[in-house]
Amino acid sequence: MKEARGAHERSATSLSDLQRRSSRREVRPTDQPPEGATHKDAKPVLSFTAKRRGKAPSHLADLDAAGRKQVLKDLGMPGFRADQLSRHYFTHFEADPSNMSDIPAGMREAVSGALLPKLVTKVVSLEADGGRTIKDLWRLYDGAQVESVLMRYPQRTTLCVSSQAGCGMACPFCATGQMGLTRNLSTAEIVDQVREAQASCRDGKLAGGSTALSNVVFMGMGEPLANYKTVVAALHRLIDPAPEGFGMSARNITVSTVGLVPAIKKLAGEGMPVTLAVSLHAPDDDLRDELIPINSRWKVGELLDAARAYFLATGRRVSIEYALIKDMNDQEWRAQLLADELNKRGHGWVHVNPIPLNPTPGSIWTASTRSAQEAFVKRLRDNGIATSIRDTRGSDIDGACGQLATAVADGKRAVGEGRA
């Protein structure tokens, strides 16, 4: 007990010394209007209310096996056709009944309308990193647009999917956050992004030839846990074996959140050991209240307690996402505070991913200097925190969440524009 108290006192002294020695200018989120703001007095507005409430057409991927069979039964078709359709979709990544030779020609039109309506249509596809990264902008049935990013690495191929059109979390440095929430995606609209990526991997659309999609991260447009029921259903479609789903490993799927504490607790009880990623970006409530508006409801301590409980319930190490923003949250004393907050909840339960922010010339929302980044990472590692810099992709193709949709809407990117 005495040793623990001594270590805590040494840490506190170290933190206070760092704060005193810090002579760097500190900028605040309120020093500039949010990214993409149309007037100088704009303020982030937190919202859970969608602008649109229309419902996407019902689709095979919205339903479990029993639900699919019931739809066919209602059409006067045998239930075994549901398994055939499901295997085409989840195993062969085929969504057009006209290409399914084992489905009678006379059934295909009815099946298409009832279980396989077209949900996503490609607007523009951009390539970067020598063809190892593809960013797609999709138009949904009602004209709403979302993005997905497919990335090939030496040991894995990862898809970043969107769970909402726009986002209501209003984080001032995020292009999607400044769009506001248009609407929640349906389960099938999320899953169809994955099917499209599966087909692209199989067909060799990424540089390096054919590959298999191994990882999915819910880090695209939207706050996944604000669309909780739909996202959990989508997770089942990703994880459950065919013909229920794609049969992916839960351990290769990551769900991110800015900090919806009750939903984190609920997810911990779902029995799916997916990785939880917490978009923290500041270890102190003083800064995080301005940087992440949802912090006004659930503070840093509550969020980290919930993340720790998730680890205990699932055995899955939690990722802490931390966008390093120049002179705002990249001070060495904040790295020490972050380490202290994590370590006081235990060891080995968390991994920190500092993320170099995409540079925005002339803005306060720009990347930390290399020296600040290195000092921040070193401080975390010196305190025993597993830390690795996130490999950012696609900065030359509006790679950050929401940037491509905004660029197309503003006419800065032409529809059909290709390789970057």
Reading the block at residue 150, the tokens are 């497919």
Is the CB of residue 289 less than 8 Å from the CB of residue 296? yes
Non-local (6+) Cβ contacts of 173 within 8 A are: 29, 34, 35, 291, 323, 325, 357, 365
Element (H, E) at 375: helix 370-382
| Calpha distance 335→357 (Å, rounded) | 17
* Tokens coding 234: 């989508």
Tell me if residue 147 is catalytic: yes
Q: Give the integer Cα–Cα distance in Å for 129 and 96.
A: 31
Distance between CA atoms of 234 and 127, rounded to whole angstroms?
27
Closest CA to 321 of 130, 171, 153: 171
Amino acid sitting at position 309: A
**Catalytic member of 160, 201, 321, 401:** 401
Q: Write out the binding residues for S-adenosyl-L-methionine.
A: 222-223, 256, 279-281, 358
- Reported as type and span, the H/E element at residue 200 is helix 187-202
Binding-site positions read: 167, 171, 174, 222-223, 256, 279-281, 358
154 in Cβ contact with 132 (< 8 Å): no
| Catalytic residue (one of 147, 189, 196, 341) | 147
* Long-range contacts, 371-377 (Cβ 8 Å, 24+): 372/324, 372/326, 372/330, 372/331, 373/324, 373/330, 375/332, 375/335, 376/324, 376/330, 376/331, 376/332, 376/334, 376/335, 377/335
Is 35 known to be catalytic? no
> What residues are labeled active site?
147, 401
